[in-house]
Amino acid sequence: MNFKRNNQKLSNFKNEMNKFSYLEDTDISAILKWVKQRQKKVKTKSKVINLNKCKDWFFDKHSNLHHKSHQFFKVKAVETKGAFGREVKSWSQPILTQKHGGVLAFIARQTKKYGTQFLIDAKIEPGDDSIIKISPSFQATQSNMNRAHGGKRPKFYDIVIENKGAELVYYTIHNEEGARFWKKSNWNVIVNLKNPNDKRIKGENYKWVSLKQLKKLALRNRCVNPFVKTILFML
C-alpha cells in the first residue's frame, strides 16, 4: 500500500460532514431489520477437524503451522517467562504471526439529501458463531489482495487501494491485540467517493448509513465487529 497522509483532506471531509449533519438519519430500526433478513438468508456449517486435515496447510520442522503459499498467517508456540505484574509469571500459548497487515476501510459518500454516509457490510467471520456483524466496507489482508487463495481480489479493491473514483481522506496504523497477534498492525482507512451514486456500489450485503447510526449500532451488544469501532475513532 502507498497511502499518503493529507490532514487537510480529513479536515475538509469532517467540515462538510458537520455542516450537513442535520440531514443524517438517526433511526437504526431499518438497519437492524436488514441484518435479520440477511441472517435468515445465510446458511453456514462448521465442524472441528484435525489440523493435519486442513487443506494446503502444513507443519514445518519447528512445528509452526503454515499455508503452502507462505502467505496469510503462521501459528507458532511461544513461552513467556518472568512476566511482571501479571496473574502468573510464566505461561505457554499459540500465537499468530503475519508478515503483512491488512486494510480495514470505510467507503464514504457525501450527499445533498442524507449528508455524509458510510458503506457497511453484513459479514460473517470464520469462528464467530455464524452471527452476522456489521463490518467496514472493505476488509482484507495483504494475502487476500495478492490472491494467495487463487480467487479474485476483494470487492472494492479498485476504490480503496487504487483510489479509482475515490479520494483517500485519512489513514492510520492500528496495532492488533498483542497477546494473540505477534506485532500485527492494520491500516485503518476512509475513502470518499467522487460520485455519490457510483454504480460499483451494489449488493444485498451492503447498505449506506450515517455516522450517527453507526455510533448507535456500536453501542449494541454483538452488533458491529471491532474494526468498525477502531475506524470510528478517526471521526
SS3 state of residue 10: helix
> Any idea what DSSP says for residue 214?
H
- Residue 98 near residue 73 (C-beta atoms within 8 A): yes
**200 CB-near residues (< 8 Å, 6+ apart):** 156, 158, 159, 165
Identify the band that residue 3 occupies on the pLDDT scale cut at 50, 70 and 90.
Answer: low
CA distances for 184 relative to 157, 175, 180, 234, angstroms: 21, 6, 9, 20
- Top-confidence range, 167-171, 177-181, 210-214: 210-214
Q: Which residues pair with 187 in a beta bridge?
A: 103, 173
- How much is the average pLDDT of 64-84? 85
- Residue 154 near residue 135 (C-beta atoms within 8 A): no
> What percentage of the chain's residues is helix, strand, coil (to nearest 5)?
25, 30, 45
- What is residue 60's predicted lDDT score, i.e. its pLDDT? 86
Residue 5 reports pLDDT greater than 70: no
Residue of 73 and 179 predicted with greater confidence: 73
CA distances for 63 relative to 52, 53, 75, 94, angstroms: 12, 15, 9, 11
Residue 98 reports pLDDT greater than 60: yes
Return the C-alpha cell found at 119.
458503506
Domains of the chain: which residue ranges?
A: 7-42+100-232, 52-96
pTM above 0.85, yes or no: yes
- Residue 200 near residue 162 (C-beta atoms within 8 A): no
- Residue 121 near residue 139 (C-beta atoms within 8 A): yes
Per CATH, the architecture of 7-42+100-232 is what?
Alpha-Beta Complex (3.90)
Segment holding 186, helix H or strand E: strand 185-193
Residue among 65, 70, 130 at smallest CA distance from 100: 70
Residue 96 reports pLDDT greater than 90: no
Instruction: Summarize pLDDT for 109-140 with one digit per residue, the tens.
Output: 999 999 999 999 998 887 776 689 999 999 98
Q: Work out the mean pLDDT of the chain and round it to a whole number.
A: 88
- What is residue 69's predicted lDDT score, i.e. its pLDDT? 81
Residue of 82 and 31 predicted with greater confidence: 31
